[in-house]
Amino acid sequence: MTIPTVRTIVALRGIVAGWRQEGLKIAVVPTMGALHDGHLSLVRAALEKADRVIVTIFVNPKQFNNQDDLAAYPRTEHEDAAKLMPLGVHLLYAPNMAEMYPENFATTVSVGGVSEGLCGAFRPGHFAGVATVVTKLFLQTGADIACFGEKDFQQLHVVRRLARDLDIPIEIVACPTVREVDGLALSSRNRRLSAAERRTAPKLAEILLATAERLLPGAPPEHVLTEAKAAILAAGYREVEYLELRSDGDLSPLAAVDRPARLIVAAWLGQTRVIDNVKLAPTGNK
Ligand code: PAF
């Protein structure tokens, strides 16, 4: 048995039209493949919320600001399909480049505000690439629900914003970050870490949690964040792109944890960029 797979918009829409006639609720889980347990948790959430689940696999060149990163991105469709099969996913949509971006493709979806700063400051064009492909995937699948991981927290905000601003009738479901037993957030890029880097990697999550504890009583973040950046470097990371305290609800910068907040980080471990975030809920807030 293999998972039903379509590669064209026409074939996808034919199947979705049949489901619609039956009155079924449809969820989509957009991915770039190289699936790990974090993706599978999104799929499980989708299966709980909808009658039919489409997983998409498309390595989207428009969101890579670094061509080496794009070339090195793992492409493992066969293994991915084998992981999805036992979960009961109903359809795999894996379009090729010409189907997604035909000749003379000229449209970009650019989301202001939440795309700026954080990863947006270090990866020019990244969120426009994400927003463009996600908008296309929403329109191609016509899904009622889409599941995204909180690990890519800024991306989650970008996707929510574009769905609202463009009146796309889709519910965005946020799913918690899945971690290795030692705390490292799962990511398709973790497979690039050397054995020594893999031992160092979880220190980022450790420092994030310890920093969150220090910020929770409402301490001004400046000094605490400076110390935390130094701790990340001392742990073996070679560069901290950013470590910031932001509002959980709208990503605006915070000067204290006076509402639900996120501590968000991006740092380089050798040649691998690692991102992570933790939620901080001040007493009385969830
Ligand atoms: O999170 C990802 O894997 C990608 O950014 C997404 C949402 C599938 C768009 O290419």
| CB neighbours of residue 122 within 10 Å | 13
Mutate which of 32, 55, 115, 188 for ligand 1 pocket (most atoms within 8 A of beta carbon): 32
pLDDT at 152 over 90: yes
Residues 185-238 have pLDDT tens digits of: 999 999 999 999 999 999 999 999 999 999 988 778 999 999 999 999 999 999
Mutate which of 58, 123, 133 for ligand 1 pocket (most atoms within 8 A of beta carbon): 133
Annotation marks residue 90 as catalytic: no
- Mean pLDDT of the residues in the chain: 96
Sign of the C-alpha dihedral computed for residues 162, 166, 167 and 168 taken in this order: negative
Average pLDDT over residues 97-117: 98
**Parallel, antiparallel, or unpaired: how do β-strands 171-175 and 239-247 relate?**
unpaired
- At 211 the pLDDT is 97
Q: Rounded to the nearest 5 degrees, what angle is found at the Cα of 239, between the Cα atoms of 234 and 241? A: 125
- DSSP state letters, 53-116: EEEEE---GGG-S-HHHHHHS---HHHHHHHHGGGT--EEE---HHHHS-TT--------STTS
Whether ligand 1 lies within 6 angstroms of the CB of 130 is answered as yes
The CA distance from 272 to 192, in Å, is: 7
Whether ligand 1 lies within 6 angstroms of the CB of 159 is answered as no
Centre of ligand 1 from the C-alpha of residue 221, in Å? 31
Q: What is the CA radius of gyration of the chain?
A: 19
- At 64 the pLDDT is 96
pTM recorded for the entire structure = 0.97
Maximum separation of any 2 CA atoms in the chain, in Å: 59
Whether ligand 1 lies within 6 angstroms of the CB of 152 is answered as yes
- 217 or 64, higher pLDDT: 64
- At 285 the pLDDT is 52
Tell me the C-alpha to C-alpha distance, in Å, between residue 44 and each of 139, 202, 235.
22, 25, 35
Whether ligand 1 lies within 6 angstroms of the CB of 245 is answered as no
CATH topology of domain 188-279: Pantoate--beta-alanine Ligase; Chain: A,domain 2 (3.30.1300)
Whether ligand 1 lies within 6 angstroms of the CB of 32 is answered as yes
Say if residues 270 and 236 touch (Cβ distance below 8 Å): no
Confidence category of residue 17, pLDDT binned at 50, 70, 90: very high
Centre of ligand 1 from the C-alpha of residue 109, in Å? 15
Whether ligand 1 lies within 6 angstroms of the CB of 63 is answered as yes
Say if residues 59 and 73 touch (Cβ distance below 8 Å): yes
- At 220 the pLDDT is 83
* Fold match, 5-175 / 188-279: no
For ligand 1, atom 6, name the residue with the nearest CA: 31
pLDDT at 70 over 80: yes
**Parallel, antiparallel, or unpaired: how do β-strands 52-57 and 26-31 relate?**
parallel
Which top CATH class is 5-175? alpha beta
Q: Which residue type is seen at 16?
A: V
User: For residue 56, which atom of ligand 1 is closest to its CA?
Assistant: 8
Centre of ligand 1 from the C-alpha of residue 40, in Å? 14
Q: Domain spans of the chain?
A: 5-175, 188-279
- At 282 the pLDDT is 80
